């Protein structure tokens, strides 16, 4: 797993990053680009919630990263 942070191994054997990027208070105008750039840097854990109001735009950043095979 490529990661911007250390990871822990879960009891299933899966690895989970110990540091992620929080999306709270990131504006809808910039969150897609910020998520995309974070994925380029190796981030794989994002803290998001519907209360943040930017989940659709965050998803656009993730979709773009997948399309670019990051």
DSSP element (H, E) containing 58: helix 55-67
Cβ contact 47:22 at 8 Å? yes
- 52 catalytic? Reply is yes
Counted residue by residue, the chain has a size of: 70
- Among the listed residues 7, 52, 55, 59, the single catalytic one is 52
Catalytic residue list: 52
């Amino acid at each position: 797993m490529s990661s911007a942070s250390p990871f822990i191994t879960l009891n299933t054997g899966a690895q989970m990053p110990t540091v992620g990027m929080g999306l709270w208070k990131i504006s809808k105008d910039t969150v897609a680009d910020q998520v995309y750039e974070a994925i380029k840097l190796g981030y794989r854990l994002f803290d998001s919630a519907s209360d943040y109001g930017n989940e659709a735009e965050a998803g656009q950043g993730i979709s773009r990263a997948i399309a670019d095979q990051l």
